[in-house]
A and B are shown apart, each in its own frame.
Chain A
Amino acid sequence: GENVEQHPSTLSVQEGDSAVIKCTYSDSASNYFPWYKQELGKRPQLIIDIRSNVGEKKDQRIAVTLNKTAKHFSLHITETQPEDSAVYFCAAKEYGNKLVFGAGTILRVKS
């Protein structure tokens, strides 16, 4: 089955700096890669996703890149703000709508 590894486990950045979180996956057949943000005590919410036929996708300050050959994808947050502080989870679709999640990255944005 699919296996997703996520790094780093924690990340501290200064407000205004960029943050990058990386994930690798094992199943070359996976074709959908969402990113979820979970604020403290709240439910995970989708912030951006990418399909395997696309190499990069941007939405304002957030972007995701995908390298199918290397089987890794990354989340990029530019001009970080304190409200970006949360746990971020990457995921890869195994089959149907089943997702396999990474272990999560705690992002702290220091003001």
Chain B
Amino acid sequence: GAGVSQSPSNKVTEKGKDVELRCDPISGHTALYWYRQRLGQGLEFLIYFQGNSAPDKSGLPSDRFSAERTGESVSTLTIQRTQQEDSAVYLCASSSSGSSYNEQFFGPGTRLTVL
């Protein structure tokens, strides 16, 4: 079946503009995660959705960042008033349930460049 997909694959924007990144998880996966990966760096946790529970937003770096998820499907990550330091690859991942040992499947990422 289809894996996690993300769109767009690349986004170039000007400083101060808002951007919206989309993630389509694997069908039936109840958990969804957003990570940020700066060039040559590790995976920085941003936000975690689990079913209908309140999302864990503890990784969002500022109030310019927000994310939504409709039920157990698509999620969008919105960055308002983008800054150059927001330039990174934004990765989405999903896993099949809230139990402890489920593999996270990653999407291909969206490469965001803020000029």
Is B75 located at the chain interface by the 8 A CB criterion?
A: no
Is B103 located at the chain interface by the 8 A CB criterion?
A: yes
- The count of chain B contact residues (Cβ–Cβ below 8 Å) is 25
Say yes or no: B104 contacts A102, CB within 8 Å. no
Q: Which residue of A lies closest to B30 (CB)?
A: A97
Query: Majority SS of interface residues in chain B?
Result: loop
Say yes or no: A46 contacts B104, CB within 8 Å. yes
Say yes or no: A51 contacts B101, CB within 8 Å. yes
Chain A residues close to B by CB (< 8 Å): 1, 31-32, 34, 42-46, 49, 51, 89, 93, 96-104
The 27 listed contacts between A and B (C-beta, < 8 Å) are: A1-B58, A32-B100, A34-B103, A34-B104, A42-B108, A43-B91, A43-B108, A44-B43, A44-B91, A44-B106, A89-B42, A89-B43, A93-B100, A96-B48, A96-B50, A96-B56, A97-B33, A97-B50, A97-B98, A98-B45, A99-B45, A101-B35, A101-B43, A103-B41, A103-B42, A104-B41, A104-B42
